[in-house]
Amino acid sequence: MVINALKPLNQIATFLKVQPGKITLNDDSLPVRVVNKNSNFGYINIILELIKEGNTNLEGCSDLEEALIRQWIEYGFVYVVKAENPQQIFKELNAVLTTKTYLVAHKLTIADIFLYYFLQDSMDKLSILDKEKYSHVSRWFDNLQQDSSIRQSNKLVNFNTLYLASVAPARR
């Protein structure tokens, strides 16, 4: 699962309605954002700067929430981007989302949006059976994609299970 690691940063900037600037990867594969000759390095720093510029409250309401958000962002760029087997990522996220609507708090945070963008292509490639297997991730993802400002130009991932009824109809 090779992911364009810069695309989510540009999509977050668009979601927050801020200037993305020029975002590139340096020689160490670390993202660099340049706006008006000011540079930010690293996913977390760039995302926190985008939130600050966007004047939103997506960063969490407590020190604990802020720390958890940073951990989820780190999880995204350390594990999700480099995952050879996205099934393991879905399995882990499914376990976390068993009793939660969002990853960190009882409301949407930048961690949810960040991972949504990272997982967009992989979710679209999942079979209907896999989407049902990872039902909590599917519920979370579908919830996020219903907001057109989050989804942007990404296509809606189909979570319709009516397909299964035609493939494996109920017996009488």
Beta pairing partners, 33:
23, 40
Per mean pLDDT, which range of 29-43, 47-61, 84-98, 150-164 is the poorest? Answer: 150-164
pLDDT confidence band for 25 (50 / 70 / 90): confident
pLDDT score of 142 more than 70: yes
Q: Tell me what percent of the residues of the chain surpass a pLDDT of 70.
A: 91
Picking from 78, 72, 58, the residue whose alpha carbon sits closest to that of residue 149 is 58
pLDDT score of 2 more than 50: no
pLDDT confidence band for 1 (50 / 70 / 90): very low
pTM of the full structure: 0.87
Identify the structural domains of the chain with CATH numbers, from first to last: 7-157 (1.20.1050.10)
User: Average pLDDT, stretch 19-45?
Assistant: 90
pLDDT score of 41 more than 70: yes
Whole-number pLDDT of residue 172: 55
Contact by Cβ (8 Å): 39, 73: no
Whole-number pLDDT of residue 169: 54
Task: For residues 160 and 127, give the distance between their C-alpha atoms in angstroms, rounded to a whole number.
Answer: 11
User: Average pLDDT, stretch 62-68?
Assistant: 94
Contact by Cβ (8 Å): 109, 65: yes
Instruction: Give every strand in the sheet of 38-41, ordered side by side.
Output: 22-25, 31-35, 38-41
pLDDT score of 92 more than 90: yes
Task: For residues 137 and 143, give the distance between their C-alpha atoms in angstroms, rounded to a whole number.
Answer: 10
